[in-house]
């Protein structure tokens, strides 16, 4: 079982089925997912995505907070080393799942 931490552009390209995400990368993600591995998103990537949306460089089909919630709901936890974020996840319930780096 392999866990994968996706870079920001991979998260965005995977979410939008962008052609720039290579077939080998898609296969690696799919193989890890099917083998029971976790597909992780960095909390820093979430910040980067929010900044890109705020500055008008990209558009998402949902507001950023809903987009992140949907990714978490699909089983892609956020990974962080920040204790404040981990504490938030523990106090807010299961819907805020974070992997511990």
Give, for all 101 residues of the chain, the pLDDT tens digit. 688 888 899 998 888 888 999 999 999 999 998 999 888 888 888 888 888 998 999 999 888 888 888 888 777 888 776 666 556 555 555 444 444 44
Residue 85: CB atoms within 10 A of its CB come to: 15
pTM assigned to the model: 0.72
- Spans of all domains in the chain: 4-100
55-77 core/surface letters (b: 16 or more CB in 10 A; e: else): eeeeebeeebeebbeebbeeebb
């Amino acid at each position: 079982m392999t866990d994968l931490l996706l870079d920001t552009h991979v998260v965005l390209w995977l979410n939008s089925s962008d052609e720039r995400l290579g077939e080998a990368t898609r296969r690696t993600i799919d193989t890890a997912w099917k083998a029971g591995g976790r597909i992780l998103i960095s909390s820093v990537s979430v910040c980067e995505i929010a900044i890109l949306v705020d500055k008008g460089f990209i558009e998402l089909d949902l507001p950023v907070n809903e987009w992140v919630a949907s990714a978490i709901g699909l089983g892609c936890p956020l990974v962080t080393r920040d204790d404040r974020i981990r504490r938030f996840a523990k106090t807010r319930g299961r819907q805020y799942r974070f992997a511990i780096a």
